[in-house]
């Protein structure tokens, strides 16, 4: 499946080395001001080739809106957006045409479909996430009207944890580091791995603020469940924590409960979600990315005939995918929240009466 969402639903298309990639975003209410410059600026935050901490592949990632927008406003019809690929070097991949890169999706795609677009990983490449960022930018514009904001930053690289979580610092950092004091050590870890022809993992922290109480559907479209699904669907994500996440299983109830006062919760261990429904507090996610699978160190693998071989990869790859991945996390979070806002409108008679009476 290539689609995600219920009331606000998007489908993406395209491959890493194809002509173009893009998305169709359906369900955007008519009359939303579509700020094209903002959509482009979101793509610019994710685009490759901005620094030595990212892949050297340079893509303009220029987005073009094909439909669904007239005189700067959404028309209520599907919004189609396209991003042309301009910097493919498919030759870089000819040496892995019949070889499966350990840690990548080559092995599973080949055995599932019986064929494989080896150029840049084809559809399994995270290049597809540019389309999600374009769709997510429109979701951000929509939820901004409701006072909801999604921010993110890197809170850990190669096990080096941030002590401070400063989302303004992350905006200014080339690696989106949340802690300016830990940034140099985190950068050094990336460059060390890169110099050793290796890669490192990292953690993105996402904060969604201004969320009203009540977003999330029973029982199979819970807010935490759908956010986890959205994050796990991003390439290389291996774990998602909501609030205290895995720490909750070793905490006492008395520590883990967020006690309640008339003006709100005294703490936020729950990460803003109770019973699958937003509780009005900030929603907090920690999204764990594995190290980039494509590394230049020699590794054991097999080819399409299941013959064993040792090989060294060529090409251009991110030494730490969490960095650009954090922008994709923001986009997916915004898409989920916007969808949940639309779904929640029919949750009780009061809301329906306000609209129809
Ligand atoms: N994997 C690579 O091997 N090389 C890359 O340059 C690369 N860039 C990525 C960029 C982003 C923004 C993200 C989110 C992921 C990137 N990945 C890269 C990860 C692979 O796409 C991913 O590991 C692969 O599809 C296998 O899927 P899985 O790790 O989810 O099992």
- The total domain count for the chain is 1
The angle subtended at Cα 9 by Cα 7 and Cα 14, nearest 5°, is 175
User: Can you say which residues are annotated as belonging to the binding site?
Assistant: 46, 123-125, 235-236, 275, 290-294, 316
The closest residue, in CA terms, to atom 4 on ligand 1 is: 317
Please give the distance, rounded to the nearest whole angstrom, from the Cα atom of residue 55 to the centre of ligand 1. Answer: 11
Beta bridge partners of residue 149, listed in sequence order: 209
Pocket test for ligand 1, best of 122, 176, 234, 293 (most atoms within 8 A of CB): 293
1-5 long-range contacts (CB < 8 A, ≥24 apart) are 4/230, 4/233, 4/335, 5/335, 5/336, 5/339
* 143-171: pLDDT as tens digits: 999 999 999 999 999 999 999 999 999 99
Lowest mean pLDDT among 53-67, 157-171, 281-295, 319-333: 53-67
Q: Which of 105-119, 120-134, 321-335 ranks highest by mean pLDDT? A: 321-335
Query: What span, in angstroms and rounded, lies between the C-alpha atoms of 73 and 296?
Result: 47
Q: For ligand 1, what atom is nearest to the CA of residue 323? A: 12
Tell whether the model's pLDDT for residue 282 goes beyond 90. yes
Length reported for the chain? 357
Confidence of residue 91 (pLDDT cuts 50, 70, 90): low
Spatial contact of 279 and 265, defined as CB atoms under 8 Å apart: yes
C-beta separation of 270 from 73 below 8 A: no
CA of 126 to the centre of ligand 1 (A): 5
Report how far residue 242's alpha carbon sits from residue 290's, in angstroms, rounded to the nearest whole number: 18
Q: Is this complex scored with an ipTM above 0.95?
A: yes
Q: Does pLDDT of 321 surpass 80?
A: yes
* Ligand 1 binding pocket includes 326 (Cβ within 6 Å): no
322 CA to centre of ligand 1 in angstroms: 9
Proportion of the chain above pLDDT 90, given as a percent: 87
Q: Is 244 in the pocket of ligand 1 (CB under 6 A)?
A: no
For residue 352, the domain's CATH number is 3.60.150.10
Q: What is the Å distance from ligand 1's center to 289 Cα?
A: 9
> Atom 31 (ligand 1): residue with closest C-alpha?
236
Sorting pLDDT into bands at 50, 70 and 90, what band is 250? Answer: very high
Q: Is 104 in the pocket of ligand 1 (CB under 6 A)?
A: yes
Ligand 1 atom with the smallest distance to the CA of 289 is 14
Please give the pLDDT value at position 204: 98
Centroid of ligand 1 to alpha carbon of 293 (angstroms) = 7
pLDDT at 90 exceeding the cut of 70: no
pLDDT tens-digit series, residues 21-51: 999 999 999 999 999 999 999 999 999 888 9
Q: What is the span of the domain harbouring residue 270?
A: 3-356
Question: Rounded to the nearest 10 degrees, what angle do helices 223-232 and 322-344 cross at?
Answer: 150
Q: How far is CA 267 from the centre of its chain?
A: 27
pLDDT of residue 316: 82
């Amino acid at each position: 499946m290539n689609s995600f969402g219920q009331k606000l639903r998007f489908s993406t298309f395209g491959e890493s080395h194809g002509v173009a990639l893009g998305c169709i975003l359906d369900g955007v209410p008519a009359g939303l001001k579509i700020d094209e410059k903002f959509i482009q600026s979101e793509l610019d935050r994710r685009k490759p080739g901005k620094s030595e901490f990212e892949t050297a592949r340079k893509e303009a990632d220029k987005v073009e809106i094909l439909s669904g927008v007239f005189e700067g406003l959404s028309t209520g019809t599907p919004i189609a957006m396209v991003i042309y690929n301009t910097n493919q070097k498919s030759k870089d991949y000819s040496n892995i045409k019949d070889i499966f890169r350990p840690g990548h999706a080559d092995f599973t795609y080949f055995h599932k479909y019986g064929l494989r677009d080896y150029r840049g990983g084809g559809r399994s490449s995270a290049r597809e996430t540019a389309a999600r960022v374009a769709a997510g930018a429109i979701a951000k514009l929509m939820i901004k009207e409701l006072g909801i904001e999604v921010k993110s930053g890197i809170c850990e690289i190669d096990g080096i944890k941030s002590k401070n979580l400063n989302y303004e610092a992350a905006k200014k950092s080339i690696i989106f580091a949340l802690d300016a004091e830990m940034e140099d050590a985190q950068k050094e870890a990336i460059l060390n791995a890169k110099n050793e022809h290796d890669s490192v993992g990292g953690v993105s922290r996402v904060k969604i603020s201004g969320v009203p109480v009540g977003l999330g559907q029973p029982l199979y479209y819970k807010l935490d469940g759908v956010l986890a699904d959205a994050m796990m669907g991003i390439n290389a994500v291996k774990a998602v924590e909501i609030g205290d996440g895995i720490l909750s299983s070793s905490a006492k109830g008395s520590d883990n409960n967020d006690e309640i006062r008339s003006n709100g919760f005294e703490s936020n261990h729950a990460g803003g979600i109770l019973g699958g429904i937003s509780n009005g507090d900030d929603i907090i996610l920690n999204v764990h990315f594995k190290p980039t699978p494509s590394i230049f160190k020699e590794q054991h693998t097999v080819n399409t005939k299941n013959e064993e071989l040792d090989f060294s990869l060529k090409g251009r790859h991110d030494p730490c995918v969490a960095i650009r991945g954090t922008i994709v996390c923001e986009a997916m979070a915004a898409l989920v929240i916007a969808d949940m806002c639309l779904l929640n409108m029919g949750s009780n008679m009061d809301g329906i009466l306000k609209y129809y009476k």
